[in-house]
Amino acid sequence: MAKHLILGREGEDIAARYLEEHGYTVLERNWRSGHKELDLIVTDGNTLVFAEVKTRTSTEYGDPWTFVDDRKIRRIVNSADAYIRFRQVDMDVRFDIVSISIEDGDFKVEHIEHAFFPPVE
């Protein structure tokens, strides 16, 4: 498996554990439908949360969450819409980012709730 895929998987494992330790319930990991993909789908009480996980081994070029750009946000929102329709979900929805920096075997988790809102088109 490619190094970046291993890092991504490790970051998602850390993020899932972190969210569970903070009272979230993990419903899905790496949900896919065609080209659509969502990292983590969790619940926070009565809210469905789509959590994008960004993992980096260095913050030299910025914190991991800074790599979630407008294009990525549109893809996440479109994927979330597909998930909601597929599962026929009727809950409040929120978009979070879990930013993970791993350096020298240590990791730092930053959970950004309400990281972005669906763009109006």
Sorted by where each begins, the domain ranges of the chain are 3-112
pLDDT over threshold 70, residue 6: no
Cα angle 19-111-7, degrees, rounded to a multiple of 5? 80
Q: Quick one: fold of 3-112?
A: Trna Endonuclease; Chain: A, domain 1 (3.40.1350)
Q: For residue 52, with 0-12 CB atoms within 10 Å meaning exposed, 13-18 middle and 19 or more buried, which class applies?
A: buried
Distance CA 12, CA 79 (A): 18
pTM of the model: 0.91
pLDDT over threshold 60, residue 5: no
pLDDT over threshold 90, residue 38: yes
For the stretch 111-121, pLDDT in tens is: 999 999 998 76
Cα angle 70-51-71, degrees, rounded to a multiple of 5? 15
pLDDT over threshold 80, residue 40: yes
For the stretch 58-112, pLDDT in tens is: 777 888 898 999 999 999 999 999 999 999 999 999 999 999 998 877 889 999 9
Distance CA 16, CA 21 (A): 9
Q: Range with the lowest mean pLDDT among 20-29, 36-45, 61-70?
A: 61-70
Distance CA 100, CA 103 (A): 10
Secondary structure (3-state) at 47: strand
